[in-house]
Amino acid sequence: MKDWKKIKSEEIGDLSIFKARYDFLKNPRNNKEVKVTVLEANDAVNVVALTTENKILLINQYRFGTEKFSLEVPGGFIEDEEIPLIAAKRELQEETGFTAPHWEYLGAVYANPVFMDSQIHHFVAYDAALTNPKELDEAEDIEVMLMSREELKELIKDNQISHPHTLSALSRIFNIFSTENL
């Protein structure tokens, strides 16, 4: 496959957490120029937090895009100049009040490579414990939940956990789609 040549980019606007642009590219297959929309954003993190009791920490929060509550692992955007691990620790503490002494990087996935340039960095936090009050943003109202592996498996099976970044992170440490236990 041949590379696509970018002819030019035009900024559309600043949408708070995203910047939008048009890219004009030459399709190497047919030499036609195409105009595509790209959303630029900081990378993000999410955290599979495991307690000393072997429970998995989930959050339940309202999502504006779907206008529904969503069961997820904690996470959020990496701030400018922040490294992913520091962002993961910050997001876990802010959204849940939990902190953890042991961390492992699980890898990253693109948020949505169809039209976005950012990645989601997955982490697992071991021996998580409630040590602080939550520090929620103005647009957040988060319920913290602790689940056993069996309860988590049932929620996934019943499609009650459908956030793709959460499923991606969980699948890196658990066999979430098998018929066997996690």
Parse the chain into domains and list their residue ranges.
Answer: 5-40, 44-171
State the pLDDT at residue 1.
87
Mention the CATH class of domain 44-171.
alpha beta
pLDDT by residue for the chain (182 residues), tens only, comes to 889 999 999 999 999 899 999 999 999 999 999 999 999 999 999 999 999 999 999 999 999 999 999 999 999 999 999 999 999 999 999 999 999 999 999 999 999 999 999 999 999 999 999 999 999 999 999 999 999 999 999 999 999 999 999 999 999 998 776 655 55
State the pLDDT at residue 171.
93
State the pLDDT at residue 175.
77
pTM of the model: 0.92
- Give one DSSP letter per residue of the chain, joined into a string: -PPPEEEEEEEEEE-SS-EEEEEEEE-TTT--EEEEEEEE---EEEEEEEETTS-EEEEEEEETTTTEEEEE--EEEPPTT--HHHHHHHHHHHHHSEE-SEEEEEEEEES-TTTB--EEEEEEEEEEEE-S-----TT---EEEEE-HHHHHHHHHTT----HHHHHHHHTTS-TTSSS--
State the pLDDT at residue 178.
63
State the pLDDT at residue 163.
95
